[in-house]
Amino acid sequence: MRKIVFIIAFISVFFAAQAQIHVCPFSEHVRTLRVIYQTDMTEEGQTYASRPFLKLVEGKVDGSDAANTLHISFDEMSHDLRQYSYTVTHMKADWSGESGLSTTEYLKGFTTQDIVYYEHSINTTREYTHYEFLFPNEEMILTCSGNYKLLIYEDGDRDKRVAEIQFCVVEPLTTVQANVRSNTDIELNGRYQQVDFDVRMTAIRYNDPNEIKIVVRQNNRSDNEVWLKQPTFIEPGRLRYQNQKALIFEGGNEYHHFDPFSAYYAGVGIDRVFFQNGDYHVMLFPDEMTRGQYIHQFDSDGRFIVNAERTKDSEIEAEYMWAHWVLPAEKPWLDGALYIGGDLFGNELKLTNRMQYDVENKCYWLTTLVKQGGYDYQYWFCGKGTQNKTTTQRVDGSYWQTENEYAIYIYWRPFGARYDRLVGLLTLKSEL
């Protein structure tokens, strides 16, 4: 049974939301912030690492369908009881700010909610408290498509931000057909992949193609996302985006993987597990520069999952461990910085996932605290003056054969409208 936090009635609360998921914890005491479908959870714990988005059904999303409801959870690294609340805000298509809609226009019910379900960790070396809630729910029903930001904060004070979650709600008024190919205008069967797609206006009428905005992302990354305004061809009821150089993506390489599901022996990608100074540590096998060769292996395109052996409930019985990355390099790169990329770090470039160079041992290294489970990661190099755009070519190379996940977002804002509607969303795998 989950325990219930009883919040004093006068404490205020509020909430926010978003679409194919981006998460960002603001506190170093908050770990393992996850957003998955409710159906991805069982009594024993997480079963799948989804990147969910919500769908408007008959003009609303109300939490009545577990397959269309978000399960949001995080850990606070103590057994102290915290008073957390959440609120939701409707955002512009480019996330540059709020859409301008009032809460009554996109939300039915309360504007804030308390997070009342929590449970303390059991028999773990590091104490933590696991919080979780479902969204949307019968108290907070969404009624508009588009981008949302969900803000979690403490003590009823919005300035005491704990975490932020971005997700989307789609109303399927268009049909998107897409494919990924290796034959690009840059090179033939080399390092890149070309995305082509058609958008059929099955249930909307637009007067100007400029009413349509399109975003394409690879593996849920924002550093290489592409914004499109003009199609290649305009046909009755259809917009075609073919052979556009903007839609040429670096193929990259398959993600690396490590799995510290056990505290007793080394899992996949792990050299050894040991206990020292009151904490578990996992030493990953040193990775190698693999430029020049492609080796196929199955991955989850950057996702992670929480899982621990010999537990009945991984959410509260999994250990936190220090994970240690090592990448041998004869000398540091002075023209940019190296990062560990993946959902583990929110696919962002921050000091927390920026690797440091050890001159004495001639290697890059990074250490961070992770919860037991399975994790995908890549090495991203960000050159100076590249506006935070990264490349995998510096370490792992880039190959047209690499399997990647692409997401295509179709936004529509007709003349005179007050917000950007998300009228289409397609995810597809490149299988070249």
pLDDT value, residue 44: 67
Phi, psi of 69 (to 5 degrees): -135, 140
pLDDT along the chain (432 residues), means of 10: 32 31 81 93 74 94 96 96 96 95 97 97 97 97 97 94 95 96 86 96 88 96 92 94 95 96 93 96 93 83 94 95 97 96 94 97 97 96 92 94 96 94 95 71
pLDDT value, residue 41: 80
Query: Which stretches of 182-310 are assigned E, i.e. beta strand?
Result: 192-200, 212-218, 226-228, 233-235, 238-241, 248-250, 256-258, 270-276, 279-284, 304-306
C-beta of residue 223 within 8 angstroms of C-beta of residue 240:
no
C-alpha radius of gyration, the chain, whole number: 22
pLDDT value, residue 212: 94
H/E stretch holding 112? strand 112-114
C-beta of residue 51 within 8 angstroms of C-beta of residue 20:
yes
Task: State how far Cα 389 lies from the chain centre.
Answer: 17
Cis peptide bond prior to 136, omega within 30° of 0: yes
Phi, psi of 380 (to 5 degrees): -110, 125
pLDDT value, residue 20: 57
Closest by Cα among 4, 32, 14, 7 to 319: 32
C-beta of residue 267 within 8 angstroms of C-beta of residue 258:
yes
pLDDT value, residue 194: 96
H/E stretch holding 316? helix 314-317
Closest by Cα among 130, 115, 121 to 83: 115
Helix, strand, or coil (residue 204) = coil
157-170/54-55 β-pairing: parallel
320-328/279-284 β-pairing: parallel
Contacts of 77-80 with C-beta under 8 Å, sequence gap 24+, read 77/29, 77/30, 77/31, 77/126, 77/127, 77/128, 77/320, 78/29, 78/127, 78/128, 78/129, 79/120, 79/121, 79/127, 79/128, 79/129, 80/129
In the chain, the domains with their CATH numbers are 3-170 (2.70.50), 175-252+403-429 (2.60.40), 256-391 (2.60.40)
C-alpha dist (Å) from residue 148 to 18, 19, 33, 409: 4, 7, 17, 14
